[in-house]
Amino acid sequence: MSAIVLCTINAKWIHPSLALRLLKANLPVHLRKSGENSIVLEFALRQSLAEKITAILLEKPGILALSVSIWNHEATLELLAALEAALNPGDKPVIILGGPELLFLSPKADIFKFADYVIRGEGEVVFSELCQAVMDEPVIAKKVYGKFIESRDVDLKCINSAYELYTSEDLEHKLIYVESSRGCLFNCAFCQSAASALIREFPLEKFLDNLDRLLQRMQLSRRKQQTIKFLDRSFNVRPERAVKILEFCLLKTRETEKNSFQFHFEMVPLVFPGELKDILILFPPETLRLEIGIQSLNKKTCALINRTSNPKKELGILRYLRKKTNALLHVDLIAGLPGEGFESFGKGFDRLWITLSSADNSAPFEIQPGILKCLPGTLIHNMAESGIFPAVYNKKAPYEVISTDCLCTSSMEKIKNFARFWEQIVNRRPFPELLALIVPSGKPVFNSFMDLSQKLLDKFGRNWGIPRKELEETIIKIIDPE
């Protein structure tokens, strides 16, 4: 039996939750002991509901804390309903919900019907205090806290590191998440982080010390290459600090055999001063992955979503990174933004493809075309609700846009299909010998790949679960009918 079970449903098994580990690491000392007083219990979306329920019931939690995101909202709702049906009223744990999905939901949302407490905001401090209060005086705790608890941003200087709570299994088989800062300086209309317009940083020396201990543990595993993904939304907005962290990471890649670490950073495209470029050049192949959010190359669209835009400079940065560094680039575009239709999105995609593919560089790169989400609490959500932005979107998570005044439902479905086949064929590169025929370097590819993706959908009736050999044979027939 565990007094506190910290639980979530991850998108995939390889994605461990740093948030749950942080909550556990910041509990009172007597509640941190694994297997006795608290435990982290993680599931994957594809696991059966019965398997999830059984694992939770075996722990007999006094407190069940669940982290909710847009990706697991519906699955968590299903889990809570099944738990309520499986338990006698006297055996029901105190249920505490938290996570980014709950920040802006209406108090009448279905998921809150199952909760005793809902923490809105960063939970490391208030969760610890709440658990102690519930265990000491549950009746008084209810009166003091109420159901909905608004939590302020915590002082990052006072948070205990959670990296030691990554298990041997995590280090051997999963992505490892770290964070050196929280928040974002920008005010993009589609992003929930825009609500704060503030960046807070973990003390640098302490962060690097904790990261060093984590990497030492990772070196002991038998895994050939391990990915450390920084969760910072705007890692490079303070270049001098970013450079210090990158210097540390570079040192670690040189200390390990066969460059066994790959560091993943999300960077904004307009902040690349000389000192940052200089350090990025030094990383060996396969040790650096950069996620760059372009989102749109339509300046009118960027103005409508409060996003600073300079397409010429942004493409210049991408060109530089492709030509001068060994970084694997992952670049995002969003379909369905205000003021951007099918043709404009396609032109932006082609500009991005031509820029990235023209470089004489063997390092792989990825373009990820995504669909706009009207996330609760964002300006884009408010614009859609008020009619300022004429959009139809799914009212359930993940809140994807279905159509806009510039992009009809049929066109949006075509882009979705395009994106799924692009991921399978181009980003994952299962048929490298065919790529030059499917998407020639330095030339427009949007229309031709759109045509290919539509023919593949017509052939298979789906854009997922297609056997690799069958997909390859079909592509060959389409591009070379004779």
Same-domain status, 78 and 210: no
**Statement: residue 195 has pLDDT above 70:** no
What does the pLDDT read at residue 163?
98
Q: Does a structural domain hold residue 31?
A: yes
Of 407, 426, 446, which closes a domain? 407
C-alpha distances (whole Å) from 135 to each of 20, 31, 89, 123 are 19, 11, 18, 17
Q: Does a structural domain hold residue 447?
A: no
Contacts of 362 (CB under 8 A, 6+ apart): none
| Model confidence pLDDT, tens digit, residues 448-474 | 999 999 999 999 999 999 999 999 999
Q: Does a structural domain hold residue 314?
A: yes
Of 407, 423, 445, which closes a domain? 407
Q: Token pair for residue 29?
A: 């000392």
Same-domain status, 214 and 285: yes
What does the pLDDT read at residue 220?
85
Same-domain status, 260 and 281: yes
Find the radius of gyration of the CA atoms of the chain. Answer: 24
Strand pairing of 181-184 and 198-201? Answer: antiparallel
Same-domain status, 231 and 294: yes
What does the pLDDT read at residue 33?
67
Q: Does a structural domain hold residue 132?
A: yes
Question: Predicted confidence band at 223 (pLDDT cuts at 50, 70, 90)?
Answer: confident
| Model confidence pLDDT, tens digit, residues 36-61 | 689 999 999 999 999 999 999 999 99
| Model confidence pLDDT, tens digit, residues 100-155 | 999 999 999 999 999 999 999 999 999 999 999 999 999 999 999 999 999 988 99
Give the residue numbers spanning the domain of 222: 166-407
Same-domain status, 149 and 262: no
Question: Predicted confidence band at 180 (pLDDT cuts at 50, 70, 90)?
Answer: very high
Contacts of 165 (CB under 8 A, 6+ apart): 21, 24, 25, 40
Same-domain status, 207 and 128: no
Same-domain status, 181 and 322: yes
Q: Does a structural domain hold residue 89?
A: yes
**Statement: residue 259 has pLDDT above 70:** no
**Statement: residue 192 has pLDDT above 90:** no
Same-domain status, 211 and 308: yes
Residue-by-residue DSSP string for 398-428 = T-BEEEESSS-HHHHHHHHHHHHHHIIIIIS
Of 156, 178, 200, which closes a domain? 156
Q: Does a structural domain hold residue 106?
A: yes
| Model confidence pLDDT, tens digit, residues 63-90 | 999 999 999 999 999 999 999 999 988 8
Angle (deg, nearest 10), helices 73-86 and 49-59: 60
Q: Token pair for residue 97?
A: 């919900």
Percent of the chain with pLDDT over 70: 97
- Count of structural domains within the chain: 2
Same-domain status, 95 and 241: no
Same-domain status, 126 and 275: no
**Which three-class secondary structure string do you get for 149-187?**
EECCCCCHHHCCCCHHHCCHHHHHHCCEEECCEEEECCC
Strand partners, 9: 43
Q: Token pair for residue 321?
A: 């990174």
C-alpha distances (whole Å) from 416 to each of 85, 289, 342, 422, 462 are 37, 25, 12, 10, 12
Question: Domain of 75: which CATH number?
Answer: 3.40.50.280
What does the pLDDT read at residue 137?
93
| Model confidence pLDDT, tens digit, residues 311-351 | 999 999 999 999 999 999 999 999 999 999 999 999 999 99
Same-domain status, 199 and 146: no
- Per-residue pLDDT, averaged over 251-270, amounts to 87
What does the pLDDT read at residue 198?
82
What does the pLDDT read at residue 256?
76
| 329 closest CA partner among 337, 339, 338, 319 | 319
Question: Which residue intervals of 310-445 are DSSP H helices?
Answer: 311-324, 342-357, 379-386, 409-422, 432-438
Classify 134 as helix, strand or coil. helix
Question: Domain of 294: which CATH number?
Answer: 3.80.30.20
